[in-house]
């Protein structure tokens, strides 16, 4: 049966054939380079579904792209490598760096979630990586310099197949609001264009100039137009999990999707006698149908085994899968009030809830997958007007202890209206208390909030255990 996937593959092969012919016509001095691009891997080395793991993708590169180590290939990431499933989060990304080393990544942009475990952890991961972490717009506040002392470089130069490629990295300027703010309080995330222009002279003498960024397409595309005079040959995005391949002017722009479910590629046919590339082919590809690479799969299995005893402890049984964004979110925030009944209200950001609650056995690993961050629960005493402001300006948080009727907020327990000048005991996670998701008004109102030291996932895990479910009597939320 002829499918769109088959037609697209055939078209790409035809384009490759034409480009190869053009390449041959340029003579022996021509050289090719293929870029393989992923982003927002988020630690999903085992795969979101069977057959979509890191080992499958790595072998797919061999089968579809002819990939070989030390060949004319450049493997790049747009960042957010490690925060996600327990196999990565539990070890603060060390497992993910190990896997990316085995997949021979050449460079990664610094994503906002690279800061999730603090600067010391980021420095440790950068030291373990066999590739550089790049961000030209991440700067120490006190010196204005790129923090190379913790393993972040503004750019790197790599030679592949006789072609010298200069690669600049960028990090989303929203980082202070989408990672733990205290982890990056000593850092600035400066404007993209100015940072690129500042470090671009360092790429002098390179044949091709690339950007790898943890920046969404709605910012990356205008950036490429703004710096068109620099002649950037390729720009990769990240942060918004987009899968795309397009061309703006003379620049190829790639988005590699997310969680190892896909990748983007671009092949350059470069002729040094003309000091330019003479042909390109680019596209996107799903991670489907590839047998798992043995070496990568063995590394994944080894890391899974290290944490299996704790992470695989069964704490509940569930009758049917609960997706994030609905009942599950409410159950999580309700569990906070159950664990701290003296509080009036609890709020958490939706972005801190990262996966569904599966059907069947529920393990510690499943809870870490759902709530993967090192956030703790903070207790603050704030007036009602601050809570109303937080609910209005803080990115639609998940709320417990309040109900809204006719545009007014009422306390669930007493059915009394939330009063602007009355003080209430509020629970929120430390990410929000430190200003994440535009929640800085809470700390301003109560700078002495009490850190319970309890991870924000613990109340939900405790609540699940307390239900005393079993395989024969699973939880049901119908």
pLDDT, tens digit, 9 for 90 and up, residues 432-457: 999 998 899 999 999 999 888 888 99
Residue 24's pLDDT is 44
**How large a percentage of the chain has pLDDT more than 70?**
94
Q: Residue 16 above 80 pLDDT?
A: no
Q: How many CB atoms lie within 10 A of CB 225?
A: 10
Summarised one tens digit per residue, pLDDT across range 464-476 is 999 999 999 999 9
Write down the pLDDT at residue 344. 96
Residue 84 three-state SS = coil
Decide the pairing of beta strands 423-429 and 360-363: unpaired
pLDDT in tens, 312-370: 889 999 999 999 989 999 999 999 999 888 899 999 999 999 999 999 999 999 999 99
Closest CA to 55 of 291, 306, 262, 256: 291
Mean pLDDT throughout 281-302? 95
Q: Predicted confidence band at 30 (pLDDT cuts at 50, 70, 90)?
A: low
Return the bridge partners of 381, or none: 425
**What's the average model confidence in pLDDT over 281-295?**
95
Tell which residue, 311, 373, 321, has the closest CA to residue 46. 311
User: Alpha-carbon distance 163 to 179, whole Å?
Assistant: 37
pLDDT at 201: 98
**Res. 259 pLDDT band, cuts 50 70 90:** very high
**CA dihedral of 430, 434, 440, 442, whole degrees rounded to 10:** 40
55-59, 69-73, 86-90, 399-403: the lowest-pLDDT one: 86-90
In order of 75, 393, 459, 471, the CA distances from 315 in angstroms are: 40, 36, 13, 11
pLDDT digits (tens, 9 = 90+) for 369-400: 999 998 989 999 999 999 999 999 887 899 99
pLDDT at 2: 43
Confidence class of residue 29 from pLDDT cuts 50, 70 and 90?
low
Q: Please say if the pLDDT value at position 23 is more than 50.
A: no
Averaged pLDDT score across all residues of the chain: 91
pLDDT, residue 214, reads 98
Write down the pLDDT at residue 78: 98
The helix or strand, by DSSP H or E, that contains position 458, with its residue range, turns out to be helix 458-466
Q: How far apart are CA 430 and CA 446, in angstroms?
A: 13
Q: Which domains does the chain have, with CATH numbers?
A: 4-304 (3.60.21.10), 313-466 (3.90.780.10)
pLDDT number for residue 380: 96
Separation of alpha carbons 218 and 220, rounded Å: 6
* Residue 112 tokens, joined: 């906002």
Q: What is the pLDDT of residue 464?
A: 95
Decide if 125 contacts 92 (C-beta within 8 A). Answer: yes
Dist CA 236 CA 180 (whole Å): 25
pLDDT (tens digit per residue) in 196-243: 999 999 999 999 999 999 999 999 999 999 999 999 999 999 999 999
Residues of the chain above pLDDT 90, percent: 77
The two tokens of residue 8 are 């697209």
Contact residues for 195 (Cβ-Cβ < 8 A; gap 6+): 136, 137, 154, 170
User: Poorest-confidence range of 25-29, 126-130, 291-295?
Assistant: 25-29
The model's pTM is: 0.80
Looking at residue 229, what DSSP letter applies?
Answer: G
Convert the pLDDT of each residue in 274-286 to its tens digit. 877 788 999 999 9
The residue among 408, 421, 350, 352 whose CA lies nearest residue 382 is 421
E strand intervals along 83-183: 107-109, 133-134, 138-140, 152-153, 155-160, 163-171
Q: Which pLDDT score is estimated for 179? A: 85
pLDDT tens-digit readout, 129-185? 999 999 999 999 999 999 999 999 999 999 999 899 999 999 999 998 888 888 999
- Residue appearing with tokens 């003296």: 342
Instruction: Evaluate if residue 26 carries a pLDDT over 50.
Output: no
Q: How confident is the model at residue 290 (pLDDT cuts 50, 70, 90)?
A: confident
- Model confidence at 25: pLDDT above 70: no
Give 414-433 as a DSSP string. Answer: T--BPPTTSEEEEEEEHHHH
- Let me know: does 451 contact 445? Beta carbons within 8 Å: no
H/E element holding 7?
A: helix 4-25
């Amino acid at each position: 049966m002829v499918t769109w996937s088959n037609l697209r593959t055939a078209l790409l092969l035809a384009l490759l054939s034409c480009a190869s012919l053009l390449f041959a016509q340029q003579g022996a001095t021509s050289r090719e380079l293929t870029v393989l691009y992923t982003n927002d891997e988020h630690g999903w080395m085992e795969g979101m579904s069977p057959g979509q793991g890191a080992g499958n993708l790595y072998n797919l590169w061999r089968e579809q792209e002819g990939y070989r180590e030390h060949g004319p290939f450049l493997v790049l990431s747009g960042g957010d490598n490690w925060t996600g499933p327990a196999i990565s989060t539990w070890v603060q990304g060390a497992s993910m760096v190990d896997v990316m080393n085995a997949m021979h990544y050449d460079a990664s942009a610094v994503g906002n979630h690279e800061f999730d475990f603090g600067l010391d952890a980021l420095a440790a991961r950068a030291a373990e990586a066999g590739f550089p972490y790049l961000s030209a717009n991440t700067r120490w506040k006190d010196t204005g310099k790129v923090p190379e002392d913790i393993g972040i470089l503004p750019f790197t130069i790599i030679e592949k197949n006789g072609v010298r490629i200069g690669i600049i990295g960028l990090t989303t300027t929203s980082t202070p609001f989408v990672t733990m703010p205290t982890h990056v309080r000593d850092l600035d995330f400066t404007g993209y264009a100015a940072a690129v222009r500042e470090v671009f002279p360092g790429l002098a003498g390179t044949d091709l100039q690339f950007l790898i960024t943890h920046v969404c397409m709605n910012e990356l595309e205008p950036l490429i137009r703004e710096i068109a005079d620099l002649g950037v040959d390729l720009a990769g995005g990240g942060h918004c999990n987009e899968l795309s391949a397009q061309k703006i002017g003379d620049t190829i722009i790639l988005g590699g999707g997310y969680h190892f479910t896909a990748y983007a590629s671009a092949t350059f046919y470069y002729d040094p006698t003309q000091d330019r590339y003479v042909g390109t082919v680019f596209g996107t590809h799903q991670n489907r149908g590839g047998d798992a690479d043995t070496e990568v799969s063995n590394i994944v299995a080894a890391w899974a085994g290290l944490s299996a005893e704790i992470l695989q402890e069964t704490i509940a049984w569930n009758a049917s899968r609960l997706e994030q964004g609905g009942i599950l979110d409410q159950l999580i925030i309700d569990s906070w009030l159950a664990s701290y009944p003296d509080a009036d209200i609890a709020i958490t950001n939706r972005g801190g809830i990262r996966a569904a609650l599966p059907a069947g056995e529920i393990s510690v690993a499943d809870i870490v997958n759902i709530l993967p961050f090192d956030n703790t629960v903070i207790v603050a005493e704030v007036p009602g007007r601050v809570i109303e402001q937080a609910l209005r300006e803080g990115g639609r948080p998940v709320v417990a202890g309040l109900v809204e009727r006719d545009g007014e907020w009422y306390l669930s327990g007493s059915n009394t209206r939330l009063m602007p000048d009355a003080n209430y005991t509020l629970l929120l996670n430390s990410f929000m208390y430190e200003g994440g998701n535009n929640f800085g008004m809470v700390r301003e109102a109560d700078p002495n909030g009490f850190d319970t030291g309890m991870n924000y996932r613990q109340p939900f895990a405790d609540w699940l255990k307390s239900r005393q479910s079993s395989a024969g009597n699973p939880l049901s939320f119908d």
